[in-house]
Amino acid sequence: MMVTMSASPPAQHALQAPPGRAGRARLLAATTAGRLAQVASRVAGRGTGASIRGQVMMRLDPAALAKLLRGKRVAMVSGTNGKTTTTHFLAAAVRAQLGEDASRLVHNADGANLAFGIASALSANPRATTAVLETDERVVAEVVRLGRPEVLVLLNFSRDQLDRHHEIKGLGRSWRNALAAAGEEGPVVVANADEPLIVWAAETARRVVWVDTATTWTQDASLCPNCGSALVREQPDHTGGRGGHWHCSGCELRQPTASYRVQDGTIVGPDGQVWLPELNVPGSFNVSNAACALAAAELLGVPAATALAGMRTVTAPAGRFATMQVGGTTARLLLAKNPAGWAEALPLAQSSTVVLAIDSAAADGRDVSWLWDVEYEQLAGRTVVATGPRAQDLAVRLSYAGVEFRAVPDLAQALAGHPEPVDVVATYTPFQRLRKMGGV
The residues assigned a catalytic role are: 367
Per the annotation, binding residues for Zn(2+) are: 224, 227, 248, 251
Per the annotation, binding residues are: 224, 227, 248, 251
In this structure, how many other beta carbons lie within 10 angstroms of the beta carbon of residue 273?
Answer: 11
On whether the CB atoms of residues 212 and 193 are closer than 8 A, the answer is: yes
Closest CA to 101 of 68, 137, 130, 72: 130
